[in-house]
Amino acid sequence: MFIYDGSFEGLLTAVFEAYRLRDFADITPAENYQKGLFEEARRVVSAADKAARVSARLLALSGDVLRVVQYCFLAGLADKEKIIFAYIRRTLSAGRSLNGNYADPVVAAALACLKKVAREAERLKGLLRFQELRDGSFYAAIEPEHCILPLLAGHCRARFSGQGWLIHDARRGIALVYQDGDLQLFDNSAVHNARDKHAAHELAYQELWKIFHQNIAIAGRKNPKLQKQFMPVRYWKYLTEKN
């Protein structure tokens, strides 16, 4: 068993160590680790040079291979390390990208994992709701299943370059902050309730949006089941139109 610190660099370091020691045991983050009775556990110390060698090797096979690993790392799934490690081993032993091979169970598992992450990121590009604060900046909170903040960064920067904004992943306590052309990801951010810091006209626009949302639906065709299928209830907490 390899125990790593939960960082991407740590995970790749663990992969490096596994190959160096020819020991292909499971990799698990420290926060999930519970000592088994007869298990030998190695604590991996994250090392930038080792991680870089692994990512360079994957990149050499194809940019897509590294991308699969990066997306799967963002997954909020308990067995993501297993999926990633199996995928890396299968790909390295083939010596080429197997990404087109949906029939291979190991590759299919990694691609399915990537898809879950990518899909939630796409969804939240739509479902994100900003609120304007008194200082003219915009605040949004989300609680995604997967850690998709990094995947929103490029999209939001391209779209909202003229305003300062902050997207808070309340589930993980991290925040993506854009200010004066500068984009940063913060850990352990304690963002307080934005409600008492609203810009003067914020609530008026929220109200207008709700009015629009209500009136655009055809009353004779109400279909709450379909609505929930596209827009699962777990996202409603931060949706202006549902509060």
Partner 1 sequence: MDLQEKLKILSAAARYDVSCASCGVSRVLPQGLGSAVSAGICHSWSDDGRCVSLLKVLLTNYCLYDCAYCVNRRSNDLPRAAFTPQELIDLTMQFYKRNYIEGLFLSSGVRHSPDRTMEELIEVAGTLRERAHFYGYIHLKVIPGAAPELVRLASRYADRLSANIELPSAPSLQLLAPDKKPQVITRTMELVASAAPAAGQSTQLIVGATPERDLQIVTLAEELYRRRNLSRVYYSGYMPVNTDRRLPALREEPSAAAEHNRLIRLREHRLYQADWLLRFYRFKAGEILSPEYPDLDEFVDPKTAWALRHPEFFPVEINKAGYADLLRVPGIGVRSAKRILQSRRFHSLDEQALKRIGVVLKRARYFLICSGQRLDSARQYTPATLYHFFTAQEKTLLPGQEQLVLLGG
Query: For binding to partner 1 (CB under 8 A), which residues are involved?
Result: 98, 100-105, 108, 122, 125-132, 138, 140, 155, 158-163, 205, 207-209, 211-218, 220-227, 229-231, 239-241
Tokens representing 73? 């790392």
Q: How many CB atoms lie within 10 A of CB 163?
A: 13
| Closest CB 95 distance from partner 1, rounded Å | 13
- Which lies closer to partner 1 via its Cβ, residue 48 or residue 102? 102
- Which lies closer to partner 1 via its Cβ, residue 35 or residue 221? 221
| Closest CB 213 distance from partner 1, rounded Å | 6
Tokens representing 36? 């088994």
| Closest CB 166 distance from partner 1, rounded Å | 13
| Closest CB 76 distance from partner 1, rounded Å | 22
- Which lies closer to partner 1 via its Cβ, residue 77 or residue 108? 108
- Which lies closer to partner 1 via its Cβ, residue 54 or residue 140? 140
| Closest CB 205 distance from partner 1, rounded Å | 5
